[in-house]
Amino acid sequence: MSQFKELPEKYEDLPDKRRFWPASPGSLDEGLGMLRILTPEIVANAARTQIKTGERVCLNWELEKLHPPGFNRKAFEHRIKWVMPEVAFDDEYHFNPQQSSQWDGFRHHNAPAPTAGDKGRRLFYGGTTGEEILDQSSTRIGIGHWAKKGIAGRGVLIDYLSWAEKMGIKVDGLSQHTASLDDVLTIAKECNIQFEKGDIFFLRIGLTKTWDSMNDDQKQAYSEQKIPKHAGLEQSERVLKFMWDNHFAAVASDAVSFEVFPPIQPEFDLHHHLLAGWGLPIGEMFDLEELAEMCKRLGRWTFFVSSSPLNCPKGVSSPPNCMAIF
């Protein structure tokens, strides 16, 4: 039975603002996290109100686009082989979802959870430990839970990059350029966006445009940095309150890390609070260029979203396989 009704309405109502773990360990509810908000009623309403013209755009960046990848991640490999000589080919893929568009699952990032006896203790969503994730018999908080029903609902685009360019603000997606909450709210007001419970929040910050403007030497230099810099959303308690009070089902961006990195306000690190604390999926490096153009052309910044994560029960992250339908 779903525990969705236990969701406090306001950020101030949270007994512990750093974590909200209402579901039983190992349950489907725990595995879904805030995706539990996407009830059949909310999804049906999103389809009814958002699908008007049938125009659509996919939000998946090329799997090998961020090459070479940062953080010493393995580079994408794709091989084509004869499976039946002169008759049929097969593919072989080896890739890290974190090299391109991906949903960060709850197994991706933990957060500090110190105790008097263990000041260095860290836990994943629900109180899951690293040992549980490495246990091959455990599927607790694996991304396979998301694959059972997929991610579907109303998407909302905050096109920060277009707004910044209009304001004469230069945005470098590989810097600590910060999109403030005030900027987000200003854009929402200008675009007549009213957030609704269950929305999937998209923020266009400009990483994909920055990457496409770089030469091979610049891309190599990025991959070799020990601590790269990424533009993204600000970290603050105001942002956390905004996220909770609007009851988003998931958030995503074209940025490498969604939030500005390295964190400017580490105490409000969004990966700590959203992923490990609340079970709110974070999407990164989504390709939002064509989406932004379609939103401008149609004069609307909301749409229906369909995403089918990989059905890997123990998975940490997944390509989004995501489509926006207007």
Q: Which residues pair with 239 in a beta bridge?
A: none
pLDDT digits (tens, 9 = 90+) for 131-143: 999 999 999 999 9
Alpha-carbon torsion angle 291, 185, 276, 228, nearest 10: 70
pLDDT digits (tens, 9 = 90+) for 71-119: 778 888 999 999 999 999 999 988 888 889 999 999 999 999 999 999 9
Residue 88 lies in a domain: no
pLDDT at residue 65, as a whole number = 86
Give the integer Cα–Cα distance in Å for 242 and 323. 25
Residue 86 lies in a domain: no
Q: Which DSSP category does 224 fall into?
A: T
Query: At 228, which CATH number?
Result: 3.50.30.50
Residue 172 lies in a domain: yes
Residue 280 lies in a domain: yes
Sole residue written with tokens 């490096």: 285
Residue 198 lies in a domain: yes
Count of Cβ atoms closer than 10 Å to residue 114 Cβ: 11
pLDDT digits (tens, 9 = 90+) for 138-170: 999 999 999 999 999 999 999 999 999 999 999
Residues 6+ apart with CB under 8 A from 30: 21, 23, 24, 125, 126, 140, 141, 279
Alpha helices in the chain (DSSP H): 28-32, 40-50, 130-134, 144-147, 160-166, 181-190, 207-212, 216-223, 237-246, 270, 289-298
- pLDDT grade for 177, boundaries at 50, 70 and 90: very high
- Nearest CA-CA partner of 258 in 57, 104, 37, 65: 104
Once rounded to an integer, what is the mean pLDDT over residues 21-37?
97
* Tokens (6 digits) for 147: 């694959």
Residue 180 lies in a domain: yes
CA 124 to chain centre: 16
Once rounded to an integer, what is the mean pLDDT over residues 266-293?
97
Q: Which residues pair with 302 in a beta bridge?
A: 156
pLDDT at residue 323, as a whole number = 98
- Nearest CA-CA partner of 10 in 178, 197, 187: 197
pLDDT at residue 224, as a whole number = 87
Residue 78 lies in a domain: no
pLDDT at residue 5, as a whole number = 54
pLDDT at residue 1, as a whole number = 42
Count of Cβ atoms closer than 10 Å to residue 60 Cβ: 18
CA 297 to chain centre: 25
pLDDT digits (tens, 9 = 90+) for 234-272: 999 999 999 999 999 999 999 999 999 999 999 999 999
For residue 162, give the amino acid letter: S
For 202, phi then psi, to 5°, come to: -115, 135
Give the integer Cα–Cα distance in Å for 176 and 233. 10
pLDDT at residue 138, as a whole number = 97
Average pLDDT, rounded, for the chain: 95
Provide the residue range defining the domain that includes 193: 4-69+95-325
Residue 81 lies in a domain: no
- Nearest CA-CA partner of 64 in 326, 319, 325: 319
Domains in the chain: how many in total? 1
For β-strands 151-158 and 302-307, DSSP reports them as antiparallel
